[in-house]
Structure 1
């Protein structure tokens, strides 16, 4: 069944933000995004976080190239130097992205050593200067993704000050992971699971800043849960659910964007994705990397174990070809392959 559309205030929001897929390091690469586009054409996709240093001093094409089919697509940047962020924001526009996002939520040791990511929540003026510089360098929307606090800086007053300061610099859209981050003592994985989710804090932000756009991130597993949050939030961002159970995206265009379309079947999804895999193989790319985002497509369905085992065991071979995907699909019952919803 389709779900009723979100509340009327959503009409003021850039439509793609209604449902987005979170930037996830080592997950949301080009292959993953191409696969997600076989499930939804409307959800906003994000790149993995790319550091300003990698773009300014590294192989720009490697870090910035994407296919036209990935639109709408946002580039997420990691960094704290306003000039470098501005340069990368300008490149994001030059490369054709639809949005540029500043990461203020990642708690890994790598970003801490570089004083960016979640560390930036401790210095709102630094974020404000970065946002102002980025906006001066591009016509793209500049957005910020952040936590609700870090370490002992976790009062609502401090969070309010962060949003107020960054908004004064021109940021209009905030994607809020509704957990605090512990910069010391918890791993990135533990920071995604141990600090409690506090949706009411994000809801309070929306009440205090009604003129701003707030997208909720953290713990959302289903479109039914997304719809519930959309009664007050401007948007919802799916994280691990979009990767571990990607078929959740199949109903997005119909149920959250009002498209007059039927969700694709899993067979149709893989039929759409097959030419991408074949083309990648012809270019010498790894079958495993091309297809790893599909591993959860049959999660909870008969045939899922066969599909995952076939891709995992045979897909790592150097000579793995498109026949491995066909072999994996062959073990899934037709009624699973052809089911909608």
Structure 2
């Protein structure tokens, strides 16, 4: 067992960022409006002396009915997300079944971190929403994984060099392909949502161009008021302290303390965050997890959820023994697949569920529903 845990620790030390990636919602409510109608004029009484009726001149044009115009037909607005089954972190942790957390909205099924993806993920069966946060150049907290916009958008460059206005005009679905993501060498026709953000391609029914942009943290939090948010702070200490401060401030301003759990690979960032927001649930970072796996070190009780990948290369990180060890400490395990080509499918999700994991941060929320039902 200790040898396996030692190997596991070696794996953890080399892990990449979450997911193994190898203000207001944009939708507008479009409704069909009825044409204005007016009541028929009220008849008036005829005068006592009615002038004799005369035939109209022969030169008058024949009377014609006014043209009939139909009201414009618009696409229906996207339906509001259904209420969540688990509305707080405590309820999600205490769930009597494995929970389905959509990774960036379900990044193997829809464009990473777009409003479209988050809505589609909920519709497919996700219980909670996982996301990453960073700051724009003008200090706005956005939902963004990489520190550049290269992987998802139609341009390149550091996130920190862009203002919110500049980053939100970008096409955040430019490189999404349902056959392979992230891949930038596929046939152009595979990038099925490319051009919606820029207005070159119509949006799917119920959605708008804004649903394919980079979103702010606030817009996602306000668009899904009943859902738990699993938020990873990107970056490292001390450079990412402004992100920590911005996230703590947003959580307080929006009243999200009970429905946000925060994670980072950097334990110093987590310690700084905990000082600012001591009542927000946390997942431990790499240093704590390594010491726990290798030396059996104790981890503070406010780290309620362990979030780890299933493998690092050929080394198994998650198995029935490690899951049981976490459970013995009164905590739960959520797993994030780190190999989209082999792990983001119902069969692999079923394997993880067989180990007793408490949740999976899924690129394909619908496949997780199938796995849990099998």
Q: Report TM bin, short chain.
A: 0.3 to 0.5
Q: Which has the larger radius of gyration?
A: 2
